[in-house]
Chains A and B, each alone.
Chain A
């Protein structure tokens, strides 16, 4: 549905977007994820037509978008500020774009009501924009874009202004809505949980470049490099010595985990015998009493952070350069483990991933 071909956007010598290429499928919920300044919003605005590539081209539904202004593109956008027209009421806001399509009054009214029902705002059509809550404004912005029946809906950090509870609720609703209407959604966000929870696929971006494009689970479990791994939640980095490099895998020695054979990431380049492995904190499991595991390490708890449903344990293990971070649910009493206590941790060697720098 969308083809991004080698798109660069330069401001003088600074490249907000640097030779980015992407292909987004029809009906896909696609997220552009990255820290501020990574170029994700620049890319979204170029798809919408508010900005133009310095080089490269963007195709929507097979049509090149070069020189086509925003008002003639088959895309619609939900703005970060929602951009609700304050001098119009909810109905007039939603009908704004339909006015140019010269629909019959009855048809226009039917479509406006349908769009309001889709976002659970039926009956609020006569409200003024200034009388709406943040969540309701967001729904109006959605309805106003959906009523146009775009081929692609672009969402620029749509949930960032909402409080946590509402944000989580809207994540679920947005996902359901996308599945109902079947339109391609492109979401820009800096919130990794939002991207993981909603997307079919995610593109992680840093410094104007696309670092990795994959499904949420793959992005999380098999990040291609340290940067991606670090951005998507916690990660224990472990130094390793390269023993053998094969076509698809590498074999390394670590002081703590011993010899590990693991899948070789695409971006991997052998670096004079050094390698970095990563393991997520929740992939380390506390072993209780005389419980044993085929792979385990022993250490001592040096710090503990309580988060309600989970506890973060910081564990010092001999042989490791840095203490390991361990996430354990509180169902079995991890929140009661005293600081200073000896502890044993089980791990699955498959959970150790090699990371390019």
Chain B
């Protein structure tokens, strides 16, 4: 027993360190090579430069892709969050037949093979007579984002003392007024968190965007296209670094808002004796 414990004491931290290194070292190499003067990502590093970054704003195709990503990301985030609010409220407030299966189906895109879902959507959308455009990408991204947005929002709606809404009605407020003056402010942090998470996921999403886009590409699809040209690699690394930084910032902000929502709903109710 003590032997086992001593071994675990030595090897567990080593294993953990190795695991984290394996997970994040490749990601850390991205910014390192993005400021290297050499056009190929190889050690030893040759020299420090920011020219790959400086070139980015002078690439019209990249700017178009960035603009497309922004449009798709904002649209998908808004749609996924609005639908997520409806779903989360229904799931947390009402008891209806097949509530659990419905919740499961909404969460399903998290575990379904995305390429299968993307191909299926492509077939369905074409059958519906829609031509591929940023709009079809938005539809695909909403599907992918809703499980995340609903998870964040369900947490925001849960633990929210129902008597707060009853108190509002009791004080003369209508159902809509109650939603506007009590429910919305209470879950606002969760909504912001859902918007940020959905936007980030849409920004980084590749498979749906690859299958469902027409001539207008989003950033991940643009990057994939650039990888065919060895000379373009450093600028892809620079762009990747920026996307990475952006994602980390957005997700951290989302987490902060989520925690704030949690504190707020918990502070509302007092423990009963």
Q: In the docked arrangement, what's the CA distance between A145 and B172, Å?
A: 11
A76:B163 contact, CB within 8 angstroms = no
Within 8 A of A (CB), among B35-83: none
Further 19 A-B residue pairs, CB within 8 A, beyond A71-B172, A96-B171, A160-B273: A69-B169, A71-B169, A71-B173, A72-B172, A79-B163, A81-B269, A81-B270, A83-B163, A83-B166, A86-B186, A86-B265, A87-B185, A87-B186, A101-B172, A129-B267, A130-B267, A137-B270, A148-B172, A161-B270
B182 interfacial contact with A, CB 8 Å: yes
**Residue on A with the closest CB to B171?**
A97
Within 8 A of B (CB), among A154-195: 160-161
B161 interfacial contact with A, CB 8 Å: yes
* Top-7 shortest CB links A-B: A97-B171, A83-B167, A83-B163, A86-B268, A70-B169, A130-B267, A79-B163
Contacts A70-B166, A87-B264; is A82 near B171 (CB within 8 Å)?
no
A134:B182 contact, CB within 8 angstroms = no
Q: Among the listed A48, A49, A96, which residue makes an inter-chain contact with B168, where contact means beta carbons less than 8 Å apart? A: A96
**Residue on A with the closest CB to B271?**
A161
Chain A residues with Cβ below 8 Å from B177 are 100
Chain A residues with Cβ below 8 Å from B167 are 77, 79, 83, 85, 144
Q: In the docked arrangement, what's the CA distance between A131 and B186, Å?
A: 17
**Least Cβ distance of A103 to chain B in Å?**
13
The 8 A CB mask of A284-314 against B (1 = contact, 0 = none) is 0000000000000000000000000000000
Return 22 A-B CB contacts under 8 Å, by A number. A50-B169, A70-B170, A71-B171, A75-B170, A76-B171, A79-B163, A79-B167, A81-B272, A83-B167, A84-B268, A85-B164, A86-B186, A86-B264, A86-B267, A96-B168, A96-B181, A100-B177, A129-B267, A134-B270, A145-B171, A148-B171, A160-B273
Chain B residues with Cβ below 8 Å from A101 are 172
Q: In the docked arrangement, what's the CA distance between A48 and B269, Å?
A: 21
**Chain A residue total in the interface (Cβ 8 A):** 32
A80 interfacial contact with B, CB 8 Å: yes
Chain A residues with Cβ below 8 Å from B133 are none
Chain B residues with Cβ below 8 Å from A130 are 267
Chain A residues with Cβ below 8 Å from B271 are 161
Within 8 A of B (CB), among A55-100: 69-72, 75-77, 79-87, 96-97, 100
**Residue on A with the closest CB to B265?**
A86
Chain B residues with Cβ below 8 Å from A71 are 169-174
Within 8 A of B (CB), among A202-220: none
Interface positions of A (Cβ within 8 A of B): 48-50, 69-72, 75-77, 79-87, 96-97, 100-101, 129-130, 134, 137, 144-145, 148, 160-161
- Residue of B167, B177, B181 with highest tally of chain A CB at under 10 A: B167
Chain A residues with Cβ below 8 Å from B172 are 71-72, 97, 100-101, 148
The 8 A CB mask of B175-208 against A (1 = contact, 0 = none) is 0010001100110000000000000000000000
**Residue on B with the closest CB to A100?**
B172
Within 8 A of A (CB), among B14-50: none
Chain A residues with Cβ below 8 Å from B269 are 81
Q: In the docked arrangement, what's the CA distance between A70 and B170, Å?
A: 5
Q: In the docked arrangement, what's the CA distance between A258 and B164, Å?
A: 59
Q: In the docked arrangement, what's the CA distance between A96 and B171, Å?
A: 7
- Residue of A81, A83, A137, A148 with highest tally of chain B CB at under 10 A: A83
Q: Among the listed B166, B174, B185, B272, which residue makes an inter-chain contact with A50, where contact means beta carbons less than 8 Å apart? A: B166
Chain A residues with Cβ below 8 Å from B273 are 160-161
Q: In the docked arrangement, what's the CA distance between A76 and B267, Å?
A: 23
**Least Cβ distance of B219 to chain A in Å?**
37
**Residue on B with the closest CB to A167?**
B273
**Least Cβ distance of B37 to chain A in Å?**
54
**Residue on A with the closest CB to B165?**
A83
**Least Cβ distance of B181 to chain A in Å?**
8
The 8 A CB mask of B109-145 against A (1 = contact, 0 = none) is 0000000000000000000000000000000000000
Q: In the docked arrangement, what's the CA distance between A55 and B125, Å?
A: 53
Chain A residues with Cβ below 8 Å from B168 are 85, 96
**Least Cβ distance of B266 to chain A in Å?**
9
**Least Cβ distance of A235 to chain B in Å?**
26
**Residue on B with the closest CB to A45?**
B166
Q: In the docked arrangement, what's the CA distance between A8 and B186, Å?
A: 36
Q: Among the listed A50, A100, A144, A161, which residue makes an inter-chain contact with B173, where contact means beta carbons less than 8 Å apart? A: A100
Chain B residues with Cβ below 8 Å from A75 are 170
**Least Cβ distance of A278 to chain B in Å?**
31
**Least Cβ distance of A157 to chain B in Å?**
9
Q: In the docked arrangement, what's the CA distance between A75 and B170, Å?
A: 8
Chain A residues with Cβ below 8 Å from B265 are 86
**Least Cβ distance of B166 to chain A in Å?**
6
B267:A97 contact, CB within 8 angstroms = no
